[in-house]
């Protein structure tokens, strides 16, 4: 059974005249067959195939929709990265930027990359990292790279705090005019998938500091959530500035200890 030939309407109705249509003429599309090409007062060129135009418009709509979803995803990611409180200097740091000249530096980099790539397993195990050693050797760089990777690739949450910032944040919950409670402050530190505590041991700890750090680390330990601790002191002295109970909790469950040695990269840049 053969199909009837496609009928083309070349008549111009009143509505079309109002929109400037002055003529219609038969035309043929290689893909969709015959159609009525429209001539308007505003153009010397007849219109093309309406089905082709509809397909092009549909493709444009899909591309715009994908672009819109991409923008939304990017905005969500920016909010998550902003919520991490990673300092601007370290926000864009990644593993590729890390300078690893020595075998020890390469080993530390490899362990951090492995930790980031397999973070879901480390998250499930609550495995922590303790980074100690010489200032300016890339500890914060690698910790920020881990945080950025788990946020982007594992849909995890990560928060960065220095010890001083953490203590000020907790103290900010005190008083009648505080905008958040102490329990809310602790929850924001205990609940993220990953917490980075930097500058441990930068100053002599007070009883309040030791008690506060233990409360945070123990809260995460009980929830079996990983913490990264960064310090410029020797690993053997960590208990004196963090508390032995906190150190024990960080080391439990095959916690990872990374020692950073060598000349400060900041000093090298200043000397160059």
Phi and psi at 256, nearest 5°, equal: -100, 130
The ranges of the chain with pLDDT < 50 are: 1, 77, 80-82, 266-267, 269-272
pLDDT at residue 250, as a whole number: 96
Distances in Å between the Cα of 214 and the Cα atoms of 14, 173, 220, 266 are 82, 18, 10, 31
Q: What is the pTM of this model?
A: 0.69
**Tens of pLDDT, residues 151-184:** 889 989 899 999 998 998 899 889 888 888 899 8
Query: Residue 210's CB: how many other CB atoms inside 10 A?
Result: 16
Structure tokens at 98: 């890390």
pLDDT at residue 133, as a whole number: 92
pLDDT at residue 82, as a whole number: 46
pLDDT at residue 271, as a whole number: 44
The dihedral formed by the CA atoms of 16, 18, 21 and 23, expressed in degrees to the nearest 10: 80
pLDDT at residue 6, as a whole number: 66
Task: Give every CB contact of residue 72 below 8 A, 6+ residues apart in sequence.
Answer: none
**Tens of pLDDT, residues 215-261:** 999 999 999 999 999 999 998 999 999 999 999 999 998 899 999 98
Angle between helices 207-222 and 163-171 (to 10 degrees): 90
- Alpha carbon distance 141, 97 (integer Å): 9
**What is the assigned CATH class of domain 84-271?**
alpha beta
- Alpha carbon distance 217, 248 (integer Å): 10
Q: Where are the domains of the chain?
A: 84-271
pLDDT at residue 267, as a whole number: 47
């Amino acid at each position: 059974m053969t199909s009837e030939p496609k009928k083309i309407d070349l008549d111009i109705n009143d509505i079309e005249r109002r929109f400037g249509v002055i003529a219609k003429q038969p035309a043929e599309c290689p893909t969709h067959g015959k159609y009525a090409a429209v001539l308007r007062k505003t153009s010397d060129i007849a219109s093309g195939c309406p089905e082709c135009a509809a397909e092009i418009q549909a493709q444009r709509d899909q591309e715009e929709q994908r672009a819109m979803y991409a923008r939304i995803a990017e905005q969500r990611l920016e909010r998550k990265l902003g919520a991490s409180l990673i300092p601007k200097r370290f926000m864009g740091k990644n593993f590729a930027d890390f300078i690893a000249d020595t075998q020890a530096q390469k080993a530390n980099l490899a362990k951090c990359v492995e930790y980031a790539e397999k973070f879901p397993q480390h998250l499930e195990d609550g495995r922590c990292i303790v980074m100690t050693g010489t200032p300016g050797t890339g500890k914060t760089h690698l910790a920020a790279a881990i945080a950025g990777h788990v946020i982007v690739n594992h849909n995890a949450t990560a928060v960065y705090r220095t010890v001083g910032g953490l203590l000020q944040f907790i103290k900010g919950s005190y008083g009648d005019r505080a905008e958040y409670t102490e329990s809310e402050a602790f929850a924001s530190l205990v609940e993220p998938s990953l917490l980075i505590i930097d500058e441990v041991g930068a100053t002599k700890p007070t009883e309040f500091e030791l008690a506060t750090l233990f409360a945070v680390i123990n809260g995460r330990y009980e929830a079996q959530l990983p913490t990264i601790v960064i310090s410029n002191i020797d690993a053997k002295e960590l208990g004196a500035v963090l508390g032995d109970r906190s150190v024990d909790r960080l080391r439990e469950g095959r916690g990872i200890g990374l020692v950073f040695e060598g000349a400060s990269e900041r000093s090298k840049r200043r000397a160059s």
